[in-house]
Chain A
């Protein structure tokens, strides 16, 4: 079955090991949630999968629909169909959302082929309508001066435009008020279906009220310690993370 397959992944930042034999498989068509206390390596996983150079892979393998992912440049991973919705999307001054997305779409075409402008804008405007974004937004510089909600909505817009086969959403709910959260979740739900596998990273259960996961994983100290259905998230919500810590903290 096509999947994003992470096998025994070990990742360090500098000399410090963060992910330790991390194993997880997200089949295409499913939404998995990855929860856990702060500092357990959730964001490290996201950045390492996207190919950030500060994260050193010390072991393991990752396959996207059977193709090895590690060792590829970040842009090659993106073109293979991987998308990372950033926790803190950065500002790109002077580059409009429309130009950026056009360049990103162009990058996916074979040499000599051009993005058709009319269709591109039609698609862009359609997606923006779904996300209740003002059309004027396209002319604004990417993320520059955006509110937290605008940034996250812009991430979802990019995801909808680039149509990845696997999306990793790194704490997309952080910094969102309830209305923005609902809109963002709606965007993700619209993309849900047999062509998308998603890994939703979150600290809080709240987001999972809107994006209902097929599987929930609990992460602690660089690896998954517990997996279950959507009820596991509720359990975490009511019991907090303390019990995870108690149960899985390495014996001293």
Chain B
């Protein structure tokens, strides 16, 4: 019986890495519930210009007019009570350029999550958001000299309006869906990034989103513009402590890749199991450019996320590599969208989902290649792995391909880790958790190889911890 205690202890220490919080006093609090006054409060606290306030107010009306998409999505969405959520919380901190200037509780939080350490090791820039606002933001000096901009949306829309305003809300319009409208009304925090022509940012820029408060909604807004021939990798990580009540995270992320540019956007989402994670992510790829979404969803109660690429310019390439792990009490509803809008555009979707126990995973795909286009290609692979008879997986691929010379390949598979496989591995001395995590890692191995090293290590570690927790 000693091993059971051991496992329990490991869970208590390791798996709960993000499950802690420091008491925090908020100087700015928009209160509970959402109405026009909430939106005005946010605009005022942030000192935004009138056009932004109007943008927000218009979005609020769109949000209110749209029904919950439960005609196709899960009824679990109805569990979100918008009138009980707090939409803006901050200590009034300005993002510091030095960790020493970050308020104590926030600094301790990010240190426990290992952010400053990662920054030293391999990042070109970091932004660390605590509830509604960034607490820390810093980019390597060399990049600033090259004209790279890495700021939050408030600063981005105020100080660099000429760059960001033309693209703001253009790839994902307010009315795209109920949650993009919600974000457009109350957005706060996130990254606005501009990489000038020909500048290749070698190391990743990273944002870390931390929810600390209960009954809270985090609504960051990200807009990344890579000008002609520019290259950038952006990485986001997220955690929250466990609360009894539901927490909402609803981001909007827009990417613009100009001619010949490359954007790689990596997400490792590890929310606690009370978080509704409802995110809209889309990129616009101009001629010869490439947009790549690498999306790993490990935590949350419900994630709904379908990163997409609009392939607008000739020979543009779009890619979504996605890994979702749904454990007990979790539903990962993820997928990808590829909208081909020019000749010779290519897209690739590889989605792997793992359902453990009663965890549920859903893949939704959308691939469109209209009739007038020539020589477009799509490849879609979605594989599901079930660990346990209770798990559930669904696949809804929607592929519309018309016209001549366009080709599409679609493969889907569902496999199971059998009791015999687990027994076989245990008979070699591996614990049940180690056996499961080994087979899960085996399942996603070919995909993880595509990831930058640091993230593949992190991902494998997270899966190991998750598997440890899933063994009863």
Contact = CB atoms under 8 A, between A and B. Distances in A.
A94 B443 contact: yes
B368 interface: no
Interface in A62-81: 73-79
B428 A93 contact: no
A192 interface: no
A41 interface: no
Residue among A83, A84, A90 with most chain B CB within 10 A: A90
A90 B418 CA distance: 10
Interface stretch (B72-80, B296-304, B419-427): B419-427
Interface stretch (A5-13, A19-27, A101-109): A101-109
Contact of A104 (B421, B429, B441): B429
A89 B423 CA distance: 11
Contacts of B379: none
A100 B424 CA distance: 11
Contacts of A93: 415, 439, 442-443
Contact of B424 (A53, A89, A162): A89
Main SS of the interface on chain B? helix
Interface residues of A, number: 30
Query: Residue among A75, A90, A92 with the most chain B CB within 10 A?
Result: A75
B439 A73 contact: no
B446 interface: yes
Interface stretch (B37-45, B256-264, B390-398, B430-438): B430-438
Contacts of A104: 425, 428-430
Contacts of B425: 92, 100, 104
B423 A79 contact: no
B445 interface: yes
Contacts of A162: 428-429
A197 B273 CA distance: 49
Contacts of A92: 421, 424-425, 438-439, 442
Contact of A84 (B427, B434, B438, B446): B427
A78 B426 contact: yes
B98 interface: no
Nearest to A72: B3
Contacts of A94: 439, 441-446
Given A76-B3, A90-B420, A103 B438 contact: yes
A120 interface: no
Contacts, number: 80
Given A75-B430, A78-B429, A90 B438 contact: no
A132 interface: no
A160 interface: no
A213 interface: no
B430 A103 contact: yes
A158 B428 contact: yes
A187 interface: no
B442 to A, nearest CB: 3
A149 B345 CA distance: 47
A79 B2 CA distance: 15
A107 B438 contact: no
Contacts of B428: 75, 78, 100, 104, 107, 158, 162
A128 interface: no
Interface string A114-137: 000000000000000000000000
Given A76-B3, A94-B446, A100-B438, A86 B431 contact: no
B402 to A, nearest CB: 36
Contacts of A103: 430, 434, 438
Nearest to B419: A53
Contacts of B446: 94
Contact of B431 (A51, A75, A83): A75
A141 interface: yes
Contacts of B421: 90-92
Contacts of A107: 428-431, 434
Contacts of A51: 426-427
A74 B427 contact: yes
A3 interface: no
A194 B80 CA distance: 67
Contact of B441 (A78, A95, A108): A95
Contact of B427 (A78, A100, A108): A78
Contacts of A90: 418, 420-421, 424
A108 B429 contact: yes
Contacts of A91: 421
Interface in A146-168: 158, 162
A56 interface: no
B427 A50 contact: yes
A126 to B, nearest CB: 19
A91 B439 CA distance: 10
Contacts of A89: 424
9 contacts: A52-B423, A75-B429, A75-B432, A78-B426, A79-B429, A86-B424, A92-B442, A93-B443, A107-B429
Given A90-B424, A92-B425, A94-B439, 18 more contacts: A51-B426, A52-B423, A53-B419, A73-B432, A75-B427, A75-B429, A90-B421, A92-B421, A92-B439, A92-B442, A93-B439, A94-B441, A95-B439, A95-B441, A103-B434, A104-B425, A104-B430, A107-B434
Interface of A: 50-53, 73-79, 83-84, 86, 89-95, 99-100, 103-104, 107-108, 141, 158, 162
The 9 closest A-B pairs by CB, nearest first: A94-B442, A95-B442, A78-B429, A74-B426, A104-B428, A107-B429, A75-B426, A94-B445, A50-B427
